[in-house]
């Protein structure tokens, strides 16, 4: 998979070198490139934003540098992702869809967002997803891209050491994951549940399912609605 990230803060993504992407196996599975939006500006100040039409607080990112940069990056099968608190909420389902793609292009907006015509324009030729992490506001799309990338790349076969660890985890079955324990059996007066100490795999499976259901009911009742 190929990933291109456009940002006015390229160093924000230095962290990719020390996280999942730093692993040798990962670099063969995914090719990530970071692009500075300001490289596509033509004025001495390298300005990427301007005041909003209609008035109001804050600045809006100008469409021209985005047009130049994205024209140079997008291919026929690219998916364009635009992080925004006004987007659809990112999910494990979306991560699975993205993991099956061949080319992801992330457009990180800052300030009050990117001129709306940029999304409108590329929707005419490409799959464009305005994507949000949830109901709160970040200063820009960079943190969201790191989260979306990590959730997506770990679903690519070979990216995660043990593929079985992907099966029984939160959100894979629409439920939160059951609680986990390791040695010692007793710690500060708290004991590991007895059922996990025996070898009855059916009893363990049943116990874990019940704990998953109980946890989901308590923390995320909305997940049980459908």
Q: What does the binding site for ligand 6GU look like in residue numbers (CB under 6 A)?
A: 83-85, 131-134, 136-138, 140-141, 144
- For residue 83, the minimal CB distance to ligand 6GU (Å) is 3
Closer residue to ligand 6GU, CB minimum distance, 146 or 155: 146
Q: DSSP label at 170? A: T
Q: What angle do CA 28, 33, 36 make, to 5 degrees?
A: 170
The whole-angstrom separation of Cα 121 and Cα 112 is 19
- For residue 216, the minimal CB distance to ligand 6GU (Å) is 23
Closer residue to ligand 6GU, CB minimum distance, 137 or 190: 137
Closer residue to ligand 6GU, CB minimum distance, 146 or 192: 146
- For residue 140, the minimal CB distance to ligand 6GU (Å) is 5
- Please answer whether residues 72 and 62 qualify as being in contact, where contact means their C-beta atoms are separated by less than 8 angstroms: no
E strand or H helix that includes residue 89: strand 79-89
- For residue 91, the minimal CB distance to ligand 6GU (Å) is 13
Closer residue to ligand 6GU, CB minimum distance, 65 or 141: 141
End-to-end CA, the chain: 33
- Please answer whether residues 135 and 87 qualify as being in contact, where contact means their C-beta atoms are separated by less than 8 angstroms: no
């Amino acid at each position: 998979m190929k990933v291109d990230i456009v940002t006015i803060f390229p160093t924000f993504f230095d962290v990719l070198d020390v996280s999942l992407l730093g692993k040798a196996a990962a670099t063969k599975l995914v090719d990530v490139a970071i692009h500075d939006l300001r490289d596509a500006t033509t004025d001495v100040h390298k300005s990427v934003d301007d005041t909003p039409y209609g008035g109001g607080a804050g600045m809006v990112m100008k469409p021209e540098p985005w047009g130049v940069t994205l024209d140079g990056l997008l291919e026929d099968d690219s998916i364009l992702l635009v992080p925004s608190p006004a987007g659809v909420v990112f999910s494990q389902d979306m991560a699975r869809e993205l993991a099956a793609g061949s080319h992801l292009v992330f457009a990180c907006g800052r300030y009050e967002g990117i001129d709306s015509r940029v999304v409108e324009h590329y929707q005419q030729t490409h799959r464009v997803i305005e994507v949000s992490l949830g109901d709160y506001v970040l200063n820009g799309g960079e943190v969201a891209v790191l989260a979306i990338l990590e959730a997506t790349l770990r679903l690519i076969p070979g990216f995660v050491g043990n593929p079985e660890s992907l099966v029984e985890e939160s959100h894979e079955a629409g439920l939160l994951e059951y609680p986990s324990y390791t040695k010692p059996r007793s710690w500060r007066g708290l004991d590991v549940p007895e059922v996990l100490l025996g070898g009855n795999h059916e009893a363990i499976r049943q116990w874990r399912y019940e704990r998953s259901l109980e946890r989901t009911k308590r923390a995320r009742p909305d997940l049980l609605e459908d």
